[in-house]
Amino acid sequence: MSYRLQATGYQPGALVYLSCMDYLLEVQGVRKAFPGVLALDDVSLNVRGGAVHALMGENGAGKSTLMNIVAGLLTPDAGAVRLRGRVAMIHQELHLMPSMTVAENIFLGREPLTRFGFVDDRALARRTADLLGALGIDVDPGAQVGDLALAQRQMIEIARAVSRDADVLIMDEPTSALSDREVTQLFTIVGDLRARGNAIIYITHKIDEVFRIADEVTVMRDGRIVGSLPADRFDRDRLITMMVGRELTQLFPKDNVPTGRVAMSIRGLSVTGMFSDVSFDLRWGEIFGVAGLAGSKRTELAETIFGLRRATSGEIALDGVAVQIHSPVAAIDRGIAFLTEDRVLTGLFLPLTVHENMELPVLKGEFLSGGFVQESKLLEASRAAATAVRVKTPDLFEPVQHLSGGNQQKVLVGRWLMTAPRILILDEPTRGVDVGARAEIHRLIATLAAEGAAVIMISSDMPEILGMSDRVMVMRQGRVAGILERSEANQVDLMRLAAH
């Protein structure tokens, strides 16, 4: 969304845009309540031009609600917003049209027209190519967005926001699906915008990014501002403690425990045009990390193992017995769970409640009696799973679309915990999740492995891969580039295998 508004009068409960010479954005005393939840309570924030202002806090702290108010998508119950210039927002959940091309998505509603009033396709393609080239994004303007990897779609969302030439650019978790190389590329873009005098509001759960890019940091907790300081006044421990209200002593609670026999054996697994000749063994009690850059086909491999794609060749064996997994139902019946990387597109049913989303894979077996669902038993199980992953929600009957992105992710994790999986495939398990919840999810993963489950964990977060994995398989362009033991894995070697 992009707009330029002049000064107006103010009435309580109204959104106000005023010209201010000191800051490009001023938020004063903003309050916002939803049924059962006070999302924002007397929030004030100043953002100056030519600076990157990091907005930090746990899921549910109110960051996205505040930014949606600034972007004009929500109306505050009280308070004022003073904006000088235009604002554009990169949302945590991508707002792209999968059936449209890259060019059509970037300039939707702003397409160049011929003198007859029709879309000038050549000019549209040329303008998109120029923009992508300037940003260093290697994507065909004519490619259909639905055919792109999640990381590529995220870069398209960034390009669309930049194309609006906004004075204030809000980035809500812009790197959640990006590799280290793509993050560096994004930071170059942000640096250029800052040099031009733009104001960048940067929301992230990745603590290290704050110290790489931010000039100022504001911390929110439970709908309030708890601190706002120059970035160099923070260190990692102080920032985490302010965000969660407590110390987190171990972000990667992975113990070195002996692994058991082979749980799953993959031999020569291939899908024509995607990946080829992938082979590895997964052991009981092991966390097997899978790393790689965007386009390495990690997700496609996981989808094939889970039965979402049909392999063209190769073999999957469980406990030494060859099996055919041609559907997710067949995978679930064999004790395999799959946490998808895109919670909105392929994971959740947003209009349904927390309970309804969590119960979907288990509406059978122990929760059926005489052909009827034992609703009370099922509700008890979903409540236990929601508690285990610390879902922040008024109750289990709250529609998932009303939750923050991180709490939506925790609902997905809780869903698969309810299946008591023997083999758990996790694709970006902590994408868009705050530092406190990230530690809880890591602890759950480590506990499941210690209890004997076998875990495949795909992640673009290098510290997560290195901190949680017993072994790491690196994929490059649809092939296995190497498999490293925990003791020999390091960031330099992983990047060398992924990029060369």
- Please report, for the domain that includes residue 449, its CATH number: 3.40.50.300
Domain boundary pick from 210, 244, 278: 244
Helix (H) or strand (E) holding 168: strand 168-172
Q: Are residues 268 and 236 in the same domain?
A: no
Report the number of distinct structural domains present in the chain: 2
- C-alpha 174/C-alpha 169 separation (Å) is 11
Dihedral, 89, 184, 480, 273 alpha carbons, nearest 10:
50
How far apart, in whole angstroms, are the C-alpha atoms of residue 168 and residue 171?
Answer: 10
Query: Which pLDDT value is given to residue 3?
Result: 28
Which of 197, 212, 244 is the endpoint of a domain? 244
Is 142 found in the same domain as 35? yes
**Residue-level pLDDT at 8:** 30
Both 187 and 279 in a single domain?
A: no
Residue 206's domain spans which residues? Answer: 25-244
Q: Are residues 282 and 394 in the same domain?
A: yes
Amino acid at 220: M
Instruction: Please state, in angstroms and rounded to a whole number, the distance separating the CA atoms of residues 456 and 471.
Output: 10
Residues pairing with 339 in the sheet: 426
Cα 113 versus chain centre, distance: 36
Decide: residue 423, CB within 10 A, 0-12 exposed, 13-18 middle, 19+ buried. buried
Across-strand partners of 168?
Answer: 87, 199
Strands 37-47 and 25-34: antiparallel
For residue 31, the cross-strand partners are: 78
Sign of CA dihedral 339, 340, 343, 345: negative
Please say whether the beta carbons of 391 and 354 come within 8 A.
yes
- Are residues 310 and 182 both part of a single domain? no
In a domain, 458, yes or no: yes
SS3 14: coil
Q: How far apart are CA 346 and CA 427, in angstroms?
A: 12
Is 122 in the same domain as 187? yes
Are 300 and 391 in a shared domain?
Answer: yes
Q: At which of 216, 244, 272 does a domain end?
A: 244
Q: What is the pLDDT of residue 500?
A: 62
Indicate whether 355 and 387 sit together in one domain: yes
Determine, yes or no, domain membership for 152: yes
Q: Is residue 20 part of a domain?
A: no
* pLDDT, position 402: 86
Residue 42 Rama label (left phi>0; alpha psi -120 to 50; beta): left
**Nearest alpha carbon to residue 193 among 174, 207, 208:** 174
Whether residue 346 is found in the same domain as residue 210: no
Helix locations, 306-421, DSSP H: 328-333, 354-359, 375-388, 405-417
- Do residues 165 and 159 make contact, with C-beta atoms less than 8 angstroms apart? no
The DSSP string of 394-413 is S-TTSBGGGS-HHHHHHHHH
Of 199, 244, 233, whose CA–CA distance to 56 is shortest? 244
For residues 54 and 214, the answer to whether their CB atoms sit within 8 Å is: yes
Q: Is 79 domain-assigned?
A: yes
301 and 197 in a common domain = no
b/e sequence 347-366, b meaning 16+ C-beta within 10 Å? bbeeeebbbebbbebbeeee
Mean pLDDT by runs of 10 across the 500 residues of the chain is 30 38 87 84 94 87 90 92 90 82 93 91 94 89 89 86 90 81 86 91 87 93 90 86 68 71 96 94 96 86 95 95 93 92 83 90 74 83 87 89 83 87 92 76 88 93 88 93 91 80
150 shares its domain with 186: yes
Residue 415 lies in a domain: yes
272 and 230, same structural domain?
Answer: no
Q: For residue 89, is it within any domain?
A: yes
Does residue 16 lie in a domain region?
no
